[in-house]
């Protein structure tokens, strides 16, 4: 069964300030509001979203996300003549200098694959974001309820997400 990740505080992976603000900093990068939507019990995939603000003078790249989930990939959504499909960003996601990159429904996102149970609203998924230049930062993806206003692709109902 998919674990409830409420033990994050006990592990001390984030400071009280970061947890309260739900913002994290590594080098010149600020990671804002990592979250995922709740999924159905039978869903085997979910998606993570956040914003990355690069206040530095050089670009960086999100190259990996690690968590206690069997498989995690960085994805984008492409529309080819009305056919929408998700594509793995094998080289990571670039974060240009002085810009903000949004990972959001219908665009760039983090795929949580091989889930063994639901992502439950109110729970948390601790993770490590790995950047090419800035290094690693521990974050917490807060699992939120779907409110029906989300645009873009619904990741919660797929049973297979192969390429």
* pLDDT for 144: 97
Q: How far apart are CA 74 and CA 150, in angstroms?
A: 20
| % of the chain residues with pLDDT over 90 | 72
CATH code, domain with 134:
2.60.40.1890
* pLDDT for 43: 95
Domain range holding 38? Answer: 15-145
Is position 153 within any domain?
no
Is position 28 within any domain?
yes
Q: Two tokens at 44?
A: 């085997």
Is position 45 within any domain?
yes
The total number of structural domains that make up the chain = 1
* pLDDT for 110: 98
Alpha carbon of 160 to those of 45, 73, 155: distances in Å?
8, 14, 10
* List of the chain residues with pLDDT < 50: 1-20, 150-163
* pLDDT for 11: 36
Q: Two tokens at 69?
A: 């989930």
* pLDDT for 21: 54
* pLDDT for 8: 36
């Amino acid at each position: 069964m998919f674990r409830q990740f409420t033990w994050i505080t006990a592990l001390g992976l984030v400071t009280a300030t970061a947890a309260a603000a739900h913002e994290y900093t590594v080098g010149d990068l600020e990671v804002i509001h990592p979250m995922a939507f709740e999924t159905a019990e039978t869903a085997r995939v979910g998606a993570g979203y956040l914003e990355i603000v690069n206040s530095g003078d050089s670009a960086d790249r999100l190259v990996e996300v690690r968590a206690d989930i069997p498989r995690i990939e960085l994805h984008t959504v492409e529309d080819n003549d009305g056919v929408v499909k998700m594509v793995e960003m094998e080289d990571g996601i670039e974060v240009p200098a002085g810009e903000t990159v949004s990972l959001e429904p219908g665009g760039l996102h983090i795929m949580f694959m091989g889930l063994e149970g639901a992502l439950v609203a109110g729970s948390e998924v601790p993770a490590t974001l790995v950047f090419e230049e800035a290094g690693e930062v521990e974050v917490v993806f807060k699992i939120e309820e779907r409110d029906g206003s989300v645009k873009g692709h619904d990741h919660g109902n797929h049973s297979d997400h192969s390429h």
